[in-house]
Structure 1
Amino acid sequence: MKPLIGLVTGIVFGFLLQKARVLRYDKQVGALRLKDMTIVKFMLAHIMVAMVGIYLLQDMGLVKLSPKATVLGANIFGGLIFGLGWGLVGYCPGTAAGALGEGRVDAVFAMLGMLVGASLFAHTYPWLKATVYTWGVFGKVTLPVVLGVNHWLVIAVLLVLYAGLLRFLERRNL
Protein backbone atom coordinates (compact mmCIF):
# COMPACT_ATOMS: atom_id res chain seq x y z
CA MET A 1 0.00 0.00 0.00
CA LYS A 2 2.84 2.43 0.81
CA PRO A 3 4.28 2.32 -2.74
CA LEU A 4 0.83 3.08 -4.15
CA ILE A 5 0.40 6.03 -1.78
CA GLY A 6 3.87 7.26 -2.79
CA LEU A 7 3.01 6.94 -6.48
CA VAL A 8 -0.29 8.80 -6.11
CA THR A 9 1.21 11.62 -4.03
CA GLY A 10 4.10 11.88 -6.51
CA ILE A 11 1.69 12.19 -9.42
CA VAL A 12 -0.36 14.82 -7.57
CA PHE A 13 2.79 16.77 -6.67
CA GLY A 14 4.03 16.60 -10.27
CA PHE A 15 0.64 17.81 -11.49
CA LEU A 16 0.79 20.75 -9.05
CA LEU A 17 4.37 21.56 -10.12
CA GLN A 18 3.26 21.62 -13.74
CA LYS A 19 0.12 23.69 -13.06
CA ALA A 20 2.11 26.22 -11.02
CA ARG A 21 4.52 26.50 -13.98
CA VAL A 22 7.53 25.99 -11.71
CA LEU A 23 8.93 23.37 -14.10
CA ARG A 24 9.74 26.08 -16.60
CA TYR A 25 13.40 26.97 -17.00
CA ASP A 26 12.65 30.72 -16.96
CA LYS A 27 10.96 30.34 -13.56
CA GLN A 28 13.98 28.44 -12.21
CA VAL A 29 16.43 31.08 -13.45
CA GLY A 30 14.13 33.86 -12.25
CA ALA A 31 14.19 32.35 -8.76
CA LEU A 32 17.97 32.02 -8.79
CA ARG A 33 18.27 35.66 -9.86
CA LEU A 34 15.67 36.75 -7.25
CA LYS A 35 13.56 38.23 -10.06
CA ASP A 36 10.64 35.77 -10.07
CA MET A 37 9.47 34.33 -6.76
CA THR A 38 6.91 31.92 -8.24
CA ILE A 39 8.89 28.93 -6.96
CA VAL A 40 9.39 30.47 -3.52
CA LYS A 41 5.66 31.21 -3.24
CA PHE A 42 4.82 27.66 -4.38
CA MET A 43 7.19 26.16 -1.80
CA LEU A 44 5.93 28.39 1.03
CA ALA A 45 2.33 27.47 0.31
CA HIS A 46 3.19 23.77 0.34
CA ILE A 47 5.23 24.09 3.52
CA MET A 48 2.29 25.76 5.27
CA VAL A 49 -0.15 23.04 4.20
CA ALA A 50 2.27 20.20 5.00
CA MET A 51 3.21 21.66 8.39
CA VAL A 52 -0.41 21.84 9.50
CA GLY A 53 -1.26 18.46 7.97
CA ILE A 54 1.64 16.54 9.48
CA TYR A 55 1.14 17.88 12.99
CA LEU A 56 -2.61 17.36 12.75
CA LEU A 57 -2.02 13.73 11.75
CA GLN A 58 0.44 13.37 14.64
CA ASP A 59 -2.04 14.80 17.14
CA MET A 60 -4.69 12.40 15.82
CA GLY A 61 -2.29 9.50 16.41
CA LEU A 62 -2.18 8.55 12.72
CA VAL A 63 1.55 9.20 12.24
CA LYS A 64 4.61 9.30 14.45
CA LEU A 65 7.18 11.96 13.67
CA SER A 66 10.81 10.94 13.79
CA PRO A 67 12.99 13.93 12.91
CA LYS A 68 16.53 13.35 11.74
CA ALA A 69 19.38 14.68 13.83
CA THR A 70 20.46 18.24 13.10
CA VAL A 71 24.03 18.21 11.79
CA LEU A 72 25.17 21.64 10.64
CA GLY A 73 28.18 20.36 8.68
CA ALA A 74 26.04 17.99 6.61
CA ASN A 75 23.31 20.61 6.10
CA ILE A 76 25.73 23.31 4.96
CA PHE A 77 27.78 20.95 2.76
CA GLY A 78 24.65 19.40 1.24
CA GLY A 79 23.01 22.79 0.72
CA LEU A 80 26.05 24.10 -1.12
CA ILE A 81 26.14 21.08 -3.43
CA PHE A 82 22.38 21.27 -4.00
CA GLY A 83 22.61 24.99 -4.81
CA LEU A 84 25.54 24.46 -7.15
CA GLY A 85 23.67 21.73 -9.02
CA TRP A 86 20.51 23.83 -9.24
CA GLY A 87 22.52 26.80 -10.52
CA LEU A 88 24.33 24.73 -13.13
CA VAL A 89 21.36 22.89 -14.65
CA GLY A 90 18.45 25.12 -13.65
CA TYR A 91 16.45 22.35 -12.00
CA CYS A 92 16.06 20.90 -8.53
CA PRO A 93 15.28 17.16 -8.25
CA GLY A 94 11.50 17.52 -8.25
CA THR A 95 11.37 19.99 -11.12
CA ALA A 96 13.90 17.96 -13.13
CA ALA A 97 11.69 14.87 -12.91
CA GLY A 98 8.63 16.95 -13.81
CA ALA A 99 10.40 18.60 -16.74
CA LEU A 100 11.54 15.19 -17.96
CA GLY A 101 7.92 14.06 -17.74
CA GLU A 102 6.97 17.03 -19.93
CA GLY A 103 9.54 15.84 -22.47
CA ARG A 104 12.21 18.47 -21.94
CA VAL A 105 15.53 17.09 -23.14
CA ASP A 106 17.64 19.42 -20.98
CA ALA A 107 16.22 17.74 -17.88
CA VAL A 108 18.10 14.58 -18.86
CA PHE A 109 21.34 16.38 -17.95
CA ALA A 110 19.94 17.28 -14.54
CA MET A 111 18.91 13.65 -13.94
CA LEU A 112 22.34 12.42 -15.04
CA GLY A 113 23.96 14.96 -12.72
CA MET A 114 21.85 13.67 -9.82
CA LEU A 115 22.91 10.09 -10.56
CA VAL A 116 26.58 11.11 -10.66
CA GLY A 117 26.10 13.08 -7.43
CA ALA A 118 24.41 10.13 -5.72
CA SER A 119 27.27 7.87 -6.79
CA LEU A 120 29.88 10.33 -5.50
CA PHE A 121 27.99 10.61 -2.23
CA ALA A 122 27.87 6.82 -1.85
CA HIS A 123 31.59 6.51 -2.55
CA THR A 124 32.60 9.32 -0.18
CA TYR A 125 30.09 8.51 2.59
CA PRO A 126 32.65 6.84 4.92
CA TRP A 127 34.83 9.95 4.75
CA LEU A 128 31.83 12.28 5.14
CA LYS A 129 30.58 10.31 8.14
CA ALA A 130 33.96 10.61 9.87
CA THR A 131 34.36 14.33 9.12
CA VAL A 132 31.49 16.52 7.87
CA TYR A 133 28.82 14.55 9.76
CA THR A 134 30.59 15.31 13.05
CA TRP A 135 30.46 19.11 12.69
CA GLY A 136 27.71 20.82 14.70
CA VAL A 137 25.70 17.82 15.83
CA PHE A 138 22.64 18.95 17.83
CA GLY A 139 20.66 15.73 17.84
CA LYS A 140 16.95 15.34 17.09
CA VAL A 141 15.63 18.80 17.87
CA THR A 142 12.63 20.75 16.64
CA LEU A 143 11.79 24.41 17.03
CA PRO A 144 8.94 23.76 19.51
CA VAL A 145 11.26 21.59 21.65
CA VAL A 146 14.04 24.19 21.61
CA LEU A 147 11.59 26.96 22.54
CA GLY A 148 9.77 24.78 25.06
CA VAL A 149 6.33 25.59 23.66
CA ASN A 150 3.43 23.71 22.08
CA HIS A 151 3.97 23.00 18.41
CA TRP A 152 0.72 24.76 17.46
CA LEU A 153 2.08 28.05 18.80
CA VAL A 154 5.15 27.75 16.57
CA ILE A 155 2.94 26.74 13.63
CA ALA A 156 0.64 29.74 14.17
CA VAL A 157 3.58 32.15 14.23
CA LEU A 158 5.13 30.57 11.14
CA LEU A 159 1.82 30.67 9.27
CA VAL A 160 1.50 34.39 9.97
CA LEU A 161 5.12 35.01 8.89
CA TYR A 162 4.76 32.88 5.73
CA ALA A 163 1.45 34.52 4.83
CA GLY A 164 3.02 37.95 5.34
CA LEU A 165 5.95 37.02 3.12
CA LEU A 166 3.60 35.71 0.43
CA ARG A 167 1.60 38.95 0.58
CA PHE A 168 4.79 41.02 0.37
CA LEU A 169 6.00 39.09 -2.67
CA GLU A 170 2.61 39.41 -4.36
CA ARG A 171 2.51 43.17 -3.75
CA ARG A 172 5.98 43.53 -5.27
CA ASN A 173 4.87 41.44 -8.29
CA LEU A 174 7.69 39.00 -7.68
Structure 2
Amino acid sequence: MMELLYGLLTGICFGFFLQKGRVLRYDKQLAALRLQDMTIVKFMLSHIAVAMVGVYWLYDLGLVKLSVKPTILGGVIVGGLLFGLGWGLLGYCPGTSLGALGEGRWDAVWGILGMLAGAGLYAEVYPFLSKTVLTWGNYGKITWPQVLGVNHWLVIVPLVAGIGALFWWLEKHEL
Protein backbone atom coordinates (compact mmCIF):
# COMPACT_ATOMS: atom_id res chain seq x y z
CA MET A 1 0.00 0.00 0.00
CA MET A 2 2.86 2.39 0.77
CA GLU A 3 4.27 1.89 -2.73
CA LEU A 4 0.95 3.03 -4.18
CA LEU A 5 0.91 6.05 -1.88
CA TYR A 6 4.49 6.95 -2.87
CA GLY A 7 3.51 6.61 -6.53
CA LEU A 8 0.49 8.86 -6.03
CA LEU A 9 2.55 11.50 -4.20
CA THR A 10 5.28 11.36 -6.84
CA GLY A 11 2.67 11.74 -9.59
CA ILE A 12 1.08 14.73 -7.87
CA CYS A 13 4.49 16.39 -7.48
CA PHE A 14 5.38 15.71 -11.11
CA GLY A 15 2.03 17.12 -12.27
CA PHE A 16 2.65 20.20 -10.14
CA PHE A 17 6.04 20.71 -11.79
CA LEU A 18 4.53 20.14 -15.24
CA GLN A 19 1.96 22.84 -14.55
CA LYS A 20 4.41 25.30 -12.97
CA GLY A 21 6.91 24.76 -15.78
CA ARG A 22 4.12 25.67 -18.24
CA VAL A 23 4.93 22.60 -20.31
CA LEU A 24 1.28 21.52 -20.40
CA ARG A 25 0.53 24.32 -22.83
CA TYR A 26 -0.15 23.34 -26.43
CA ASP A 27 1.88 26.27 -27.78
CA LYS A 28 4.93 25.19 -25.74
CA GLN A 29 4.59 21.62 -27.00
CA LEU A 30 4.45 22.70 -30.65
CA ALA A 31 7.28 25.20 -30.20
CA ALA A 32 9.42 22.40 -28.76
CA LEU A 33 8.62 20.09 -31.67
CA ARG A 34 9.52 22.92 -34.07
CA LEU A 35 12.76 23.59 -32.11
CA GLN A 36 11.62 27.15 -31.39
CA ASP A 37 11.35 26.89 -27.58
CA MET A 38 13.61 24.67 -25.51
CA THR A 39 11.57 24.91 -22.29
CA ILE A 40 10.30 21.34 -22.58
CA VAL A 41 13.73 19.99 -23.52
CA LYS A 42 15.24 21.66 -20.47
CA PHE A 43 12.36 20.45 -18.29
CA MET A 44 12.78 16.84 -19.43
CA LEU A 45 16.56 16.85 -19.14
CA SER A 46 16.47 18.38 -15.67
CA HIS A 47 14.06 15.66 -14.51
CA ILE A 48 16.23 12.96 -16.08
CA ALA A 49 19.32 14.31 -14.31
CA VAL A 50 17.60 14.58 -10.93
CA ALA A 51 16.02 11.13 -11.27
CA MET A 52 19.29 9.55 -12.39
CA VAL A 53 21.21 10.93 -9.42
CA GLY A 54 18.37 10.23 -6.98
CA VAL A 55 17.70 6.65 -8.06
CA TYR A 56 21.37 5.65 -8.01
CA TRP A 57 21.93 7.41 -4.70
CA LEU A 58 19.02 5.45 -3.20
CA TYR A 59 20.40 2.30 -4.86
CA ASP A 60 23.84 2.85 -3.31
CA LEU A 61 22.20 3.32 0.09
CA GLY A 62 20.38 0.00 -0.38
CA LEU A 63 16.95 1.63 -0.21
CA VAL A 64 15.80 0.62 -3.70
CA LYS A 65 16.38 -2.25 -6.09
CA LEU A 66 16.81 -1.56 -9.80
CA SER A 67 14.55 -3.33 -12.27
CA VAL A 68 16.29 -2.94 -15.63
CA LYS A 69 14.14 -3.70 -18.65
CA PRO A 70 15.69 -5.43 -21.66
CA THR A 71 17.03 -3.26 -24.47
CA ILE A 72 15.09 -4.31 -27.57
CA LEU A 73 15.82 -2.01 -30.50
CA GLY A 74 12.81 -3.11 -32.57
CA GLY A 75 10.38 -2.17 -29.81
CA VAL A 76 12.21 1.06 -29.00
CA ILE A 77 12.28 2.23 -32.62
CA VAL A 78 8.66 1.30 -33.46
CA GLY A 79 7.40 2.61 -30.10
CA GLY A 80 9.39 5.82 -30.46
CA LEU A 81 8.00 6.43 -33.95
CA LEU A 82 4.42 5.88 -32.74
CA PHE A 83 5.01 8.11 -29.70
CA GLY A 84 6.51 10.87 -31.87
CA LEU A 85 3.73 10.62 -34.43
CA GLY A 86 1.06 10.92 -31.74
CA TRP A 87 2.87 13.82 -30.05
CA GLY A 88 3.32 15.62 -33.36
CA LEU A 89 -0.30 15.16 -34.44
CA LEU A 90 -1.87 16.00 -31.09
CA GLY A 91 0.59 18.47 -29.61
CA TYR A 92 0.66 16.66 -26.26
CA CYS A 93 2.62 13.69 -25.01
CA PRO A 94 0.86 11.22 -22.69
CA GLY A 95 1.77 12.92 -19.41
CA THR A 96 1.06 16.41 -20.63
CA SER A 97 -2.30 15.38 -22.11
CA LEU A 98 -3.45 14.28 -18.65
CA GLY A 99 -2.13 17.50 -17.11
CA ALA A 100 -3.71 19.62 -19.84
CA LEU A 101 -7.07 17.95 -19.21
CA GLY A 102 -6.60 18.78 -15.53
CA GLU A 103 -6.21 22.41 -16.56
CA GLY A 104 -9.46 22.22 -18.53
CA ARG A 105 -8.18 21.73 -22.09
CA TRP A 106 -10.68 19.30 -23.57
CA ASP A 107 -8.65 18.69 -26.73
CA ALA A 108 -6.31 16.59 -24.55
CA VAL A 109 -9.08 13.97 -24.30
CA TRP A 110 -8.02 12.81 -27.79
CA GLY A 111 -4.57 12.00 -26.43
CA ILE A 112 -6.00 10.09 -23.50
CA LEU A 113 -8.36 8.13 -25.77
CA GLY A 114 -5.41 7.45 -28.08
CA MET A 115 -3.35 6.12 -25.17
CA LEU A 116 -6.17 3.82 -24.09
CA ALA A 117 -6.81 2.60 -27.64
CA GLY A 118 -3.08 2.10 -28.18
CA ALA A 119 -2.75 0.10 -24.96
CA GLY A 120 -5.68 -2.09 -25.97
CA LEU A 121 -4.31 -2.59 -29.47
CA TYR A 122 -0.86 -3.43 -28.06
CA ALA A 123 -2.39 -6.04 -25.77
CA GLU A 124 -4.21 -7.61 -28.72
CA VAL A 125 -1.18 -7.76 -31.05
CA TYR A 126 1.37 -8.61 -28.33
CA PRO A 127 1.49 -12.33 -29.22
CA PHE A 128 2.50 -11.38 -32.78
CA LEU A 129 4.91 -8.63 -31.66
CA SER A 130 6.61 -10.93 -29.14
CA LYS A 131 7.63 -13.21 -32.02
CA THR A 132 8.66 -10.43 -34.42
CA VAL A 133 9.36 -6.78 -33.52
CA LEU A 134 10.15 -7.52 -29.87
CA THR A 135 12.96 -9.89 -30.89
CA TRP A 136 14.78 -7.48 -33.21
CA GLY A 137 17.98 -6.22 -31.61
CA ASN A 138 17.39 -7.79 -28.18
CA TYR A 139 20.49 -6.98 -26.11
CA GLY A 140 19.03 -8.12 -22.79
CA LYS A 141 19.08 -6.20 -19.52
CA ILE A 142 22.05 -3.88 -19.99
CA THR A 143 23.03 -0.44 -18.76
CA TRP A 144 25.70 1.97 -19.99
CA PRO A 145 27.90 1.38 -16.94
CA GLN A 146 27.73 -2.37 -17.61
CA VAL A 147 28.59 -1.90 -21.29
CA LEU A 148 31.54 0.34 -20.39
CA GLY A 149 32.55 -1.82 -17.43
CA VAL A 150 32.69 1.14 -15.02
CA ASN A 151 31.02 2.32 -11.83
CA HIS A 152 27.65 4.00 -12.53
CA TRP A 153 28.87 7.35 -11.15
CA LEU A 154 31.52 7.49 -13.91
CA VAL A 155 28.62 7.66 -16.37
CA ILE A 156 26.20 9.77 -14.29
CA VAL A 157 28.58 12.62 -13.41
CA PRO A 158 29.61 13.35 -17.05
CA LEU A 159 25.98 13.08 -18.18
CA VAL A 160 24.81 15.55 -15.53
CA ALA A 161 27.73 17.86 -16.42
CA GLY A 162 26.77 17.56 -20.10
CA ILE A 163 23.15 18.43 -19.30
CA GLY A 164 24.38 21.45 -17.33
CA ALA A 165 26.57 22.54 -20.26
CA LEU A 166 23.65 22.11 -22.65
CA PHE A 167 21.46 24.26 -20.37
CA TRP A 168 24.11 26.96 -20.33
CA TRP A 169 24.43 26.84 -24.12
CA LEU A 170 20.64 26.91 -24.62
CA GLU A 171 20.29 29.91 -22.32
CA LYS A 172 23.04 31.73 -24.19
CA HIS A 173 21.73 30.83 -27.66
CA GLU A 174 17.99 30.46 -27.02
CA LEU A 175 16.27 29.67 -30.29
TM class by shorter-chain length?
A: over 0.9
Equivalent residue, structure 1, for 2:102? 101
* Aligned residue type for 2:129: L
Q: Give the match for residue 91 of structure 1.
A: 92
Q: 2:54 maps to what in 1?
A: 53
For 1:74, the equivalent position in structure 2 comes to: 75
Which residue number corresponds to residue 168 of structure 1? Answer: 169
CA distance in structure 2 between the aligned counterparts of 1:12 and 1:93, rounded to whole angstroms: 16
**Any idea what SS the aligned residue of 1:16 has?**
helix
- Give every structure 1 segment of 4 or more consecutive aligned residues whose post-TM-superposition deviation is greater than 2 Å: none
| Cα shift readout 1:129-158 (whole Å, capped 9, x = no counterpart) | 110011001011000010011111111110
Q: For the residues of structure 1 that align with 2:160 and 2:4, how far apart are their CA atoms?
A: 31
TM-score w.r.t. structure 2 length? 0.97
Letter of the 1:36 counterpart: D
Gaps of 5+ in 1: none
Paired residue type of 2:32: A
Superposed counterparts of 1:1-174, under 5 Å: 1-174=2-175
Name the SS for the 1:149 alignment partner. Answer: coil
Query: How many percent of aligned residue pairs carry the same amino acid?
Result: 67
* One-letter code aligned to 2:52: M
Paired AA for residue 72 in structure 2: V
Query: Tell me, what secondary structure is at the counterpart of 2:19?
Result: helix
TM (normalized to structure 1)?
Answer: 0.98
Aligned CA RMSD, in angstroms, stands at 0.7
Worse overlay, 2-11 or 78-87: 2-11
Q: CA deviation at 1:166?
A: 1.1
In the TM superposition, what is the alpha-carbon distance from 1:116 to its structure 2 partner?
1.1
> What's the offset of the Cα at 1:4?
1.2
Tell me the CA shift for residue 42 of structure 1.
0.2
Deviation at 1:103, TM superposition (A): 0.9
> C-alpha deviations, 1:30-51, integer Å up to 9, x for none?
0110111110000111111100
- What is the one-letter code of the residue matched to 2:149? G
TM-superposed CA distance for 1:5, in Å, is: 1.0
Work out the CA distance in 2 between the residues paired with 1:151 and 1:144. Answer: 5
- Alignment partner of 1:21: what SS? coil
